[in-house]
Amino acid sequence: MMKGIFWSRFLLAASLCWGSGAGLALAAPPEAGPEGAVVHGSANAITVNGDAIFNHVSRLAASSRVAGTQNEYNAVQYIKGELEKYGYTVTLQSFTFPKFSAPSSIQLTIEGTHGLASEQLAPQALQNTQGGDVSGEVVDAKKGTPQDLKGLELKGKIALIEAGQIDTNDKIANVADQGAVAVILYNPSSDTPISDTQFSTLSLPTVSLSGKDAQALKQKAAANDGPRVRLSVQGVAAMAATSYNVVATLRPNTTTTTSDLVTVGAHHDSVSAGPGANDDASGVGVVLEVARVVAGTQRDSEVRFLTFGAEEYGLYGSKAYANSLSSTDIGRFIGHFQLDMVGSKNSGTLGMYTVNGQKNVVTDLGATFASRLSGVIPYGQFGRSDHVPFYQRGVATALYTHSPAEPEYHTRYDTIDKISKDKLANIATIVGNSVAEILSPTTPSFKRYKDFFTPVNYPYDPNPPV
């Protein structure tokens, strides 16, 4: 039978229901294909509820959810409770990860010259700073871009760097490459030192100053004999913190089953800067709604819905999960769908990103369903989320996200008012139907999925989301 042809018919019918009512419908009754055969797929077509997803995002984004904190644990309990309502068996996988504690003391002193007294400044340590006790001449390193640093003598010096333009970790890496021993970061228009951003492990002792203090220091640095400062950052320690993954399993409910396994995931932790409505409460909301609707389908294969902790500190939760899988389970995988930053009004268009930049079953399915619903979507290359550890274990996987990322990414402005219900519902429909297709008894083992459908053509997007 011509399954590919039927699939288009079924999806075409579905697209006519688009946007009707509260939920977005992708429902069609079992029907005869052009050849009169009842073909797979229709029995499992799912309808998602955009309001339900939005409500999950809203609940989760009531506060930040930094890994290892009570707020993260509250989010974990909320997710677990919702999944149990839908009939899932839910377990928590705990793991530890290195979390840098704040320094016990920091001092920044402008050393006295020409008989002048030394001057104490009021620095703030940045999260994840290195400890140390260094002194050296202050050099204005502008914004710390490679261009800014060209020809600048930084060996043994302390770099004064303005915030913005490029990633903070990259600024610090750039000056460290040229031999700087410490960093003072500032935002010229801020009355207070920078404190509300979370960085991954910084490679140098790094503190921030208020815009005013930093500008004064910069003026002194512009004078010929730049000031010498001493920076002491004491008591920094990497402490083991505990975080959790949520694992919800749904087993086959048909008499004939396959050993196929498919997983869908998002990270529930956020940075400390803000409530992470889009990063990644949005992904968790979509995971929950897809889990709810998939629980009502006929399934000859197993699906697991996963939310990961400590993604923002370095993909710790997904690494712990992927590394805990047996080689037997790895061999059962059809694919892993990762949802990260999937609902901002201010981001670009939907795309699918793989670690190696190649298409796979996860992108083939998504592109094919998307093409019938809301238009073809591209694939590209991008890591930086929880699909990476799955890829490293040989699982076909892709990150679903919008590109380019919104300007509120990792700031306190990543709030619920920036979330688009339509974007959430669209991606949930695409991913939900992809998963339902894998699970459907009408597609016994999905390993040879090209027996069941011919993927549409979809383009390569050369630009990563950030």
Task: Compute CA distances 79 → 103, 217, 266, 293, 397, whole Å.
Answer: 33, 48, 11, 15, 23
The verdict on 247 binding ligand BES (CB under 6 A) reads: no
User: Looking at residue 180, what DSSP letter applies?
Assistant: -
Distance in Å, CB of 263 to Zn ion, minimum: 17
Show the tokens assigned to 324: 């805990």
Kindly tell me which residue out of 279, 406, 414, 437 binds Zn ion, with binding defined by CB under 5 A.
279
Q: What residue type is assigned to position 296 of the chain?
A: G
Question: Between residue 248 and residue 307, which ones bind ligand BES under the rule CB under 6 A?
Answer: 279-280
Q: Which of residues 100-139 bind Zn ion (CB under 5 A)?
A: none
CA-angle at 94, arms to 315 and 336, nearest 5°:
50
Q: Which is nearer to ligand BES, 401 or 434 (CB)?
A: 401
**What is the Cα–Cα distance from 268 to 277, expressed in whole angstroms?**
10
Q: How many residues bind Zn ion (CB under 5 A)?
A: 3
Residue 287, φ and ψ in degrees, nearest 5: -60, -45
Size of the site for ligand BES (CB under 6 A): 15
Q: Does 311 bind ligand BES (CB under 6 A)?
A: yes
Interaction of residue 408 with Zn ion, rule CB under 5 A: no
CA 132 to chain centre: 32
Contact (CB, 8 A) for 384 and 313:
no
List the one residue from 41, 227, 441, 465 that touches ligand BES (CB under 6 A).
465
Location of structure tokens 């004999």? 225
State the sign of the Cα–Cα–Cα–Cα dihedral 63, 68, 73, 75.
Answer: positive
Query: Judged by CB under 6 A, which stretch of 23-31, 109-117, 312-320, 425-433 contacts ligand BES?
Result: 312-320
Given ligand BES, Zn ion, none, residue 465, with its beta carbon under 5 to 8 Å by kind, binds ligand BES
- 401 touches ligand BES (CB under 6 A): yes
Determine if 25 is a binding residue for ligand BES (CB under 6 A): no
CA nearest 34: which of 61, 10, 66? Answer: 10
Q: Which of 250, 365, 405, 424 binds ligand BES (CB under 6 A)?
A: 405
Q: 401 contacts which partner out of ligand BES, Zn ion, none, CB within 5 to 8 A by kind?
A: ligand BES
Check residue 72 for interaction with Zn ion (CB under 5 A). Answer: no
Start-to-end CA span in the chain (Å): 44
What's the rounded Cα separation, in Å, for the pair 454 and 19? Answer: 27
SS3 state at 130: coil
Strand residues in 17-115 grouped as ranges (E): 89-100, 105-110
Q: Which stretch binds ligand BES (CB under 6 A): 27-35, 54-62, 297-305, 309-317?
A: 309-317
For residue 208, what are its two tokens?
A: 């921030």
Q: Are 43 and 31 in contact (CB under 8 A)?
A: no
Q: How far is the CB of 195 from ligand BES (least distance, A)?
A: 18
> 146 CB contacts (<8 Å, ≥6 apart)?
174
Specify the amino acid at residue 351.
Answer: G
Residue (of 2, 60, 51, 26) closest to 283 by Cα position = 60
For the window 327-366, what string marks contact with ligand BES as x by the rule CB under 6 A?
-------------xx-------------------------
Site string for ligand BES, 188-207 (x = CB under 6 A): ------------x-------
- Per CB under 6 A, the segment of 51-59, 175-183, 308-316, 317-325 that binds ligand BES is 308-316
Residue closer to ligand BES by CB (options 9, 410) is: 410
Q: Which two tokens stand for residue 85?
A: 């309502």
| DSSP H or E segment with residue 12 | helix 3-16
Cβ of residue 279: shortest distance to ligand BES, in angstroms?
4
Q: In the range 74-93, which residues lie near ligand BES by CB under 6 A?
A: none
Is residue 152 a contact point for ligand BES (CB under 6 A)? no
Q: Is 384 in the site for ligand BES (CB under 6 A)?
A: yes
Q: Which residues bind ligand BES (CB under 6 A)?
A: 200, 279-280, 311-312, 314-315, 340-341, 384-385, 401, 405, 465-466
Chain residues that interact with Zn ion, rule: CB under 5 A: 279-280, 340
